[in-house]
Amino acid sequence: MTTLPLTTPVSRLHAGFVAILIGLTLSSCGYNSIPTLEEQAKAKWADVQNNYQRRADLIPNLVATVQGYAKQEKDVLTAVVEARAKATQTRIDASQLSDPEKLKQFQDAQNQLSGALGRLLAISENYPDLKSNQNFLALQSQLEGTENRITVARRDYIEAVRAYNTELKTFPGVLWAATFFRANKPMAEFAANQDAQTPPKVKF
């Protein structure tokens, strides 16, 4: 007496069809939404950090240029250097984005640097030779462009986080969050204060 194999081509085909059907069902009912939105928010955060780093990279040359014309502005120059050091040391990786306190520390450090930069640019009004220096003008232009990029990146991150957090709280995402994605926590929003919303004034 012969016995049929437990796994026949037909049964394998049926199992494959069922697996595909389950995958499509999970996809259509929002299973992938939480990880997708999470990764998008993390990518937007990377943009925020990259643009703040771009600003930090411009500062040494800016300070050196100003120092060449306004050495007596020692307090302002020192404040910028110290604020830059603190801002570059205060970083957040993607795993810490659900910690509001960590994000606040980052935000405070960047706001402090924004204020110091604003004061540095303001003193240029007192030094006509500095205001007309080509290197200084080029750095101002680059800084203005970077501040605009920061504003856009920060806005995009806030929007991405809101989409992700909303998905965790609304149907059907709330079901997936309570089952397969219980480790996923809401991300902290980068809500900059009013002063930080305004880039340092750059006058030509």
- Residue among 185, 69, 77 nearest 129 (CA): 69
- For residue 16, the model assigns a pLDDT of 52
Per-residue pLDDT tens over the stretch 151-201:
999 999 999 999 999 999 999 899 989 999 999 999 998 765 544 444 455
Considering only CA atoms, which of 122, 38, 36 is closest in space to residue 77? 122
**CATH annotation of 35-197:** 1.20.1440.20
Instruction: Identify the CA nearest to 52 among candidates 122, 115, 106, 119.
Output: 106
Q: Which residue has the higher pLDDT, 2 or 122?
A: 122
Mean pLDDT of 13-42: 70
Distance CA 59, CA 79 (A): 12
- Count the alpha carbons within 13 Å of 138 in the hemisphere toward its beta carbon: 6
Rounded to an integer, the average pLDDT of 101-114 is 95
Confidence grade of residue 203 (pLDDT, cut at 50, 70, 90): very low
> What whole-number distance in Å separates Cα of residue 13 and Cα of residue 129?
80
Q: Where along the chain do its domains lie?
A: 35-197
The residues, ordered by sequence, that sit 6+ positions from 65 with a Cβ below 8 Å of its Cβ are 130, 133, 135, 136, 139
Which pLDDT band holds residue 24 (cuts at 50, 70, 90)? very low
Q: Are 65 and 136 in contact (CB under 8 A)?
A: yes
* Per-residue confidence (pLDDT) for residue 31, from 0 to 100: 85
